[in-house]
Amino acid sequence: MKSHLRTIQYDGELGRAQGYTQKLCLIVPFFDERRVLPRLLEAIDALAQRLQARSVLIETILVDDGSGDDGREAITAWARDRVPAFDVRVLRLSRNFGKELALSAGLEAADGDAVVLMDADLQHPVEMVETFVAAWLDEGYDVVYAHRQDHRREDIGKRLLRAGFYRLINATSDAVLAPHSGDFRLMSRRAYQALLQFPERERLMKGLYGLIGFSTKAVPYAPHPRAEGASKYSPLKLWAMGLNGVTSHSVFPLRLTLFMGLALGLLALGYGVWTIIEKLVFGIQVPGYPTLIVIISTIGAGQLIGMGIVGEYIGKVLVEVKRRPLYILESDERIAAAAAPARQDLSLTA
């Protein structure tokens, strides 16, 4: 079935001739967010109209990460009865690959002078993109990211674990993770193209942001409450993401096994010396069975922990050497904006 929606290809020279000097791509991954997508698009439409005063053309790349709630149909229905002030492009992945890879798909599809990464749940204030654009165009920053100010709604345990994670990564790797920051950020063309040079399959985007360098500015913000539903990240998923981040950007856990072995060796040596002293000096008969069980259990636990850490790194090597694709794209659909610079009209197969 043919789509009724008109599509465009952006041409930089033609865009400048029609009054646009910059193209900004908003990359928004989503998974089962049908109910909130119309409100998100309304907010982006208002943003696009305001940025027209700065001759900035907006394209929104919505990455459907294998949703099962007809989110793409909600986007089409929103655009059917109106002519949006921005271009809409919907990438649908063949299954749920996870947010990190959905962001990578959006970045590879982007062709703007800059990109903004943001969530679909409206916790990231859309109006804050104007602050990002001002820092990019007026002050010359290549990266402008938002960092949270208000943490009172978070559990104290979660805050402590997050702080420990950031401290560990920053102390033991080349990556610089800005505290209380996430994916909500603007990157210039050279910044996001540098990010695309990292080929790893097991990736934590927050760590990769800190490896590209370039001039960077932090902007404080208070996240909005979720518009609908609940977070897709369970404590187990957050723990797995944290473990993936540590092992992707630091070899400290491997070195920790060496320190653990040295500590156990010193403990065993000290216990052996003390046993000899007890026998020769104090005449105390050392019980054999309990001592043997404790020593074997301690050494066995240390070996299993060490093997687990090494196994985690070996597993990452296995994933990388297979060279499997990051994601599989099922479809790519475009919806033309009201006054977008168009080179040709195309018909897409839905």
Q: Determine the pLDDT at residue 2.
A: 31
Q: What is the mean pLDDT of the chain?
A: 76
Options 3.90.550.10, 1.10.1040.50, 2.60.120.10, 3.30.365.10; CATH for 12-236+328-335 is 3.90.550.10
Helix (H, G, I), strand (E, B) or coil at 321: helix
**Does residue 3 surpass a pLDDT of 60?**
no
CA–CA separation, 319 and 334 (whole Å)? 33
Task: Write out pLDDT tens, residues 109-153.
Answer: 988 899 999 988 888 888 889 999 999 988 888 999 888 776 556
Top-confidence range, 127-136, 211-220, 238-247, 297-306: 127-136
CA–CA separation, 187 and 192 (whole Å)? 6
Task: Write out pLDDT tens, residues 55-85.
Answer: 888 899 999 988 888 888 888 888 877 778 8
In terms of pLDDT, which residue wins out, 51 or 242?
A: 51
* Token code pair at residue 228: 């609908």
**Does residue 208 surpass a pLDDT of 60?**
yes
In this structure, are residues 62 and 86 in contact, taking their beta carbons and an 8 Å threshold? no
Mean pLDDT of 233-251: 64
Task: Write out pLDDT tens, residues 17-30.
Answer: 345 578 999 999 98
Q: Determine the pLDDT at residue 287.
A: 65
Residue 232: count of CB within 10 angstroms of its CB: 14
**Does residue 51 surpass a pLDDT of 50?**
yes
**Does residue 284 surpass a pLDDT of 90?**
no
Beta-carbon contacts of residue 217 (< 8 Å; ≥ 6 apart): 135, 139, 141, 143, 144, 145
| Beta-bridge partner residues of 331 | 92
- Enumerate the domain spans of the chain: 12-236+328-335, 252-322
**Does residue 239 surpass a pLDDT of 70?**
no
**Does residue 348 surpass a pLDDT of 50?**
no
**Does residue 165 surpass a pLDDT of 80?**
no
Q: Determine the pLDDT at residue 343.
A: 36
Q: Which residues of 117-137 are buried (b: 16+ CB within 10 A; e: fewer)?
A: bbbbbbbbbbebbebbbebbb
Q: Determine the pLDDT at residue 261.
A: 77
Percent of the chain with pLDDT over 70: 71
